[in-house]
């Protein structure tokens, strides 16, 4: 019998028309599309015996919500197949819709798991200076007035280890509210402002809540002080609103021995 091996995929997708990453009955999801394509390529008997056989199951590093995009999502699965890792991606891509792309496929170490092995994840959130039909699927135009300088200053309070309860939300699997934020910066991009943040893990809606809070405090005299106080309060009611998912993209995932 062919021995089971572990495979790693780097995946990009436009999340606009998906009900998020996670497989859901009767709904179009990224995980569902990948599993369908891979099982068409590998066959339903490719799953390793330790999973009970049957269809291949794909695990993602980040369970992105409906409308959220990715350019560096990482997925893993185990399968019994003679195909080399680099060949599986192009074969599955022929069976995927246009809004999902396997950027890279490769064989991984036997114990690799896209979510459990991750050491950090990096997201970007793009905002528009004005409505733009060319970028409206991937960036959000905020209705409220804000200060760009205030956005930059608010982010200086974020790097470090924090209890992020005030910028989390209910609705996901239990996870420690204490996050190590490696970096968090606001900078200009060609159509507006971009928030770039990396952490060891994120709470549900955390990036979208951080963006909403930054907008909320940007016109304060001391945006960094206000942001720090909101984090310290650990009260969701003290933070800003949850902004639209359309500006959010999972840009990359870092693993042991890899540079972030």
pTM for the whole structure: 0.94
**pLDDT tens digits for 69-124?**
999 999 999 999 999 999 999 999 999 999 999 999 999 999 999 999 999 999 99
pLDDT at position 143 over 90: no
Q: Tell me, what's the pLDDT at 200?
A: 97
Domain 4-108 has CATH 3.30.70.580: yes
Annotated binding site for substrate: 123
Q: Which residue is it, tokens 């019998």? A: 1
DSSP readout, 15-66? Answer: GGGSS-SS--TTS--HHHHHHHHHHHHH-GGGS-GGGTSSS---EES--PPT
**pLDDT tens digits for 148-205?**
999 999 999 999 999 999 999 987 667 899 999 999 999 999 999 999 999 999 999 9
Annotated binding site: 123
Map out the domains of the chain as residue ranges: 4-108, 119-255
Taking the C-alpha atoms of residue 45 and residue 260, their distance in angstroms, rounded to an integer, is: 36
> Per CATH, the architecture of 119-255 is what?
2-Layer Sandwich (3.30)
Catalogue the active-site residues: 65
pLDDT at position 260 over 70: no
Domain 4-108 and domain 119-255, same fold? Reply is yes
**pLDDT tens digits for 12-64?**
999 999 999 999 999 999 999 999 999 999 987 788 877 666 789 999 999 99
Q: Tell me, what's the pLDDT at 13?
A: 98
| Contacts by 84-88, CB closer than 8 A, 24 or more apart | 85/5, 85/7, 85/8, 88/7, 88/9, 88/38, 88/41, 88/42
- Start-to-end CA distance of the chain, whole Å, equals 38
């Amino acid at each position: 019998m062919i021995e089971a091996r572990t495979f790693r995929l780097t995946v990009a997708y436009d999340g606009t028309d998906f009900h998020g990453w996670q497989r859901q009955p009767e709904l179009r999801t990224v995980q569902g599309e990948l599993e369908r394509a891979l099982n068409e390529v590998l066959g339903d008997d490719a799953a390793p015996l330790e999973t009970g056989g049957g269809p291949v199951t794909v695990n993602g590093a980040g369970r992105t919500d409906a409308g959220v995009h990715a350019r560096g999502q990482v997925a893993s699965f185990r399968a019994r197949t003679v195909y080399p890792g680099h060949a599986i991606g192009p074969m599955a891509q022929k069976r995927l819709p246009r809004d999902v792309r396997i950027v890279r496929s490769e064989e991984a170490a036997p114990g690799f798991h896209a979510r459990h092995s991750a050491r950090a994840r990096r997201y970007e959130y793009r905002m528009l200076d004005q409505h733009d039909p060319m970028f409206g699927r991937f960036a959000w135009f905020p209705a409220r007035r804000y200060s760009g300088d205030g956005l930059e200053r608010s982010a200086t309070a974020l790097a470090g280890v924090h209890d992020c309860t005030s910028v989390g939300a209910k609705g996901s699997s239990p996870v420690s509210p204490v996050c190590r934020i490696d970096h968090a910066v606001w900078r200009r991009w060609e159509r507006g402002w971009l928030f770039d943040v990396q952490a060891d893990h994120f709470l549900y809606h955390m990036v979208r809540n951080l963006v909403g809070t930054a907008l909320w405090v940007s016109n304060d005299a001391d945006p960094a002080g206000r942001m720090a106080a909101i984090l310290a309060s650990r009260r969701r009611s003290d933070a800003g609103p949850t902004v639209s998912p359309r500006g959010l993209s999972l840009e990359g995932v870092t693993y042991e021995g890899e540079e972030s």
